Structure 1
Amino acid sequence: MKASWNWLGAALLALALATAAGQASAQKRAGTEFEPQVGQAGKDVIWVPTPLEVVDKMLTMTQTTANDFVVDLGSGDGRTVIQAAKKYGARALGIEYNPDMVTVSSRAAQKEGVADKVKFMKADIFETDFTQATVITLYLLPDLNLKLRPKILDMKPGTRVASHQFTMGDWQPDETAHLDNRQALFWIVPAKVGGTWRLRGDGVAQDTEMTIKQTFQLIQGNLKSNTRELPLTATNLRGSQISFSTYEGSVRRDYSGRVSDNVMEGTVRSGGGPEGKWRATRQ
């Protein structure tokens, strides 16, 4: 959990680094246990811890439970990982480049009684496979978030992501929470639905083609058959769950379903009529 080289002023940064370096050297000379210092240098960033109230907000926004596997990218002193296990019952992994911080985190996990549920590893977040996570947390920089974004977007649809303070570029958050002068941002990894699909189902004309244009979780498109072209309205994509509506004259059809790779299927309701089934396959 980190903050920017540019985010702090140059003078404050120099002072923080000098102070942290001096304290670290003094610890080594004295042979004492390493204690993290706010502002200490890291591989890509300096270390500034996320307040626990922000940690809790991130974990509640992601609806973290005991069924989750949380991965904190740049885990610092381990507080997010430990809180995920201690308060929410999740299994959790912290990926941290600084081996001293890994030691501090492991020591804290033992003290808090969650060592059996968490792990800390000394590794580079850009070279480590974290794709088994169901929840990702991070406090990095905008440019580092952007560097991670393609890998995150390739994760399983429905994976939840929370960032302290910084955005993911033009991938707009699904939710933003403000706490004093800080913010927590939340995303759900969307299924990849852009392209052309063959749609079949109750009340659907034969040879109906559905075309979808996708920008992250935002989608638009149309249904096209030999006799008509209907725009998709009220579109919504949340992880692997998709819904949209069409109008043909005064008749509205509401589609909802789930995406699984190259297939989406679900139910459709037309006006006040009975519920039917639909299925689409990617072309």
Structure 2
Amino acid sequence: MTPQTMFLHRRQVLTATGALALGGLARAQQPPAGGAGYEPQRGQSGKDVIWIPSPDALVNRMLRMAQLTPKDYVIDLGSGDGKIVIAAALEGAQGLGIEYNPDLVELSRRRAQQAGVAGRARFEKADIFESDFSRADVITMYLLPQLNLRLRHHILALKPGTRVVSHEFRMGRWRPDETARIAAASVHLWLVPANAGGDWTLSFPQGGQTVSVPMSLRQSFQMLDGNARFPDFEAQLREARVAGTQVSFGFTDALGHLRRFSGRLADDALTGSVYDFSAGGARAPFSARRTGAAPPLDGAAPAPESEAEPLGTE
């Protein structure tokens, strides 16, 4: 086995680097299409990638990282043999697999029926780039970096807090919120962030009274930076980020107290708790109101393919 072959086997993927207009995995070549005994062949060639199933342990880790619950609706992009959607359905969730290969769609439906979850695991033959997956609470995928990038702006437009889990490949500048390694494979998790950017008025208790200060937030994917402006100084925010609708940041106030803010964003209002670590972690409520329009979220526009990391990078 050559080093290149070993590398591709470790990554469990081969690319077909032509046009990337359609999603999904390969059409099987043997046995004849539509047969009840159809089974996909590991490594069979397809339009964009070859078909390689995700190991059971990795599927389990994907669902654990997504914090799957029976209330969730899972959409698997390029669902192959249906393994992930069926696994989610066995845990009580509802799921949809979007797959371009009609033979794999029929195979997935048969396997869901055999597993007793056909009522919760649905599969459709469709192009992932033309599909609506706005209903999803959890998105799963095992595609390629270029395909992930083509989907990124659609994923960032989903409701904040949607969990996105990818077997192996990332999404350019949008860095994962969590990564796990299982043997030679990786699993990456992202939480779709709310848009917290813009100008705000922040109100919180300080020295026995409520003070209000202007605050500016600049957001790149889930990462924030910005400042709070007091009469005599400007405090740069620290440890600022967005996790779904949860926004957190900190700074040292006019009294020299280190404060940590954690709140939930709804439209142009942010409410939550502020912790005063210079007073033993005392907690009090705070609020903030956005004073203008939210700027476009970084990543809202289609991504250039140049952002895709080459195979083999971590």
What is aligned with 2:14?
A: 4
Q: What TM-score does the superposition give when structure 2 sets the normalisation length?
A: 0.78
Counterpart of 1:245, as a letter, is: G
The Cα shift of 1:60 comes to 0.5
Contact 1:202–1:278 (Cα < 8 Å) also in 2: no
Question: After the TM superposition, which parts of structure 1 deviate over 4 Å for at least 4 consecutive aligned residues?
Answer: none
Alpha-carbon distance between aligned partners in 2 of 1:274 and 1:166, rounded to the nearest angstrom: 40
Alpha-carbon distance between aligned partners in 2 of 1:231 and 1:31, rounded to the nearest angstrom: 64
Alpha-carbon distance between aligned partners in 2 of 1:187 and 1:170, rounded to the nearest angstrom: 12
Contact 2:271–2:285 (Cα < 8 Å) also in 1: no
**1:102-113 correspondence to structure 2 within 5 Å:** 102-113=105-116
2:130 partner SS: coil
Q: What TM-score does the superposition give when structure 1 sets the normalisation length?
A: 0.86
What is aligned with 1:234?
A: 239
User: Aligned pair 1:130/2:133, yes or no?
Assistant: yes
User: Aligned pair 1:215/2:224, yes or no?
Assistant: no
Q: Structure 1 residue aligned with 2:144, among 141, 155, 161?
A: 141
What is aligned with 1:54?
A: 58
User: Aligned pair 1:77/2:87, yes or no?
Assistant: no
The Cα shift of 1:226 comes to 3.9
Contact 1:4–1:141 (Cα < 8 Å) also in 2: no
1:43-68 Cα offsets, whole Å, 9 max, x none, are 42221111111111100011111011
Counterpart of 1:129, as a letter, is: D
The Cα shift of 1:3 comes to 3.2
User: Aligned pair 1:250/2:260, yes or no?
Assistant: no
What is aligned with 1:281?
A: 290
Q: Structure 2 residue aligned with 1:120, among 118, 123, 139?
A: 123
Identity, in percent, stands at 46
Q: Structure 1 residue aligned with 2:275, among 269, 272, 277?
A: 269
Alpha-carbon distance between aligned partners in 1 of 2:110 and 2:165, rounded to the nearest angstrom: 25
Higher RCO (CA-CA < 8 Å; seq separation 6+): 2
The Cα shift of 1:147 comes to 0.5
Long gaps (5+) in structure 2: 1-11, 18-25, 293-314
What is aligned with 1:14?
A: none
The Cα shift of 1:200 comes to 2.9
User: Aligned pair 1:205/2:215, yes or no?
Assistant: no
The Cα shift of 1:274 comes to 5.4
Q: Aligned residue pairs: how many?
A: 265
1:181-214 Cα offsets, whole Å, 9 max, x none, are 11111111111112222223433534x2211121
Long gaps (5+) in structure 1: 8-16
Q: 1:217 to 1:3 in 2, by over 3 A?
A: same
Alpha-carbon distance between aligned partners in 2 of 1:268 and 1:31, rounded to the nearest angstrom: 62
Q: Structure 2 residue aligned with 1:170, among 173, 184, 190?
A: 173
RMSD (CA atoms): 2.2
Contact 1:191–1:239 (Cα < 8 Å) also in 2: yes
The Cα shift of 1:224 comes to 1.4
1:145-180 Cα offsets, whole Å, 9 max, x none, are 000011111111111111111111121111111111
Contact 1:241–1:256 (Cα < 8 Å) also in 2: yes
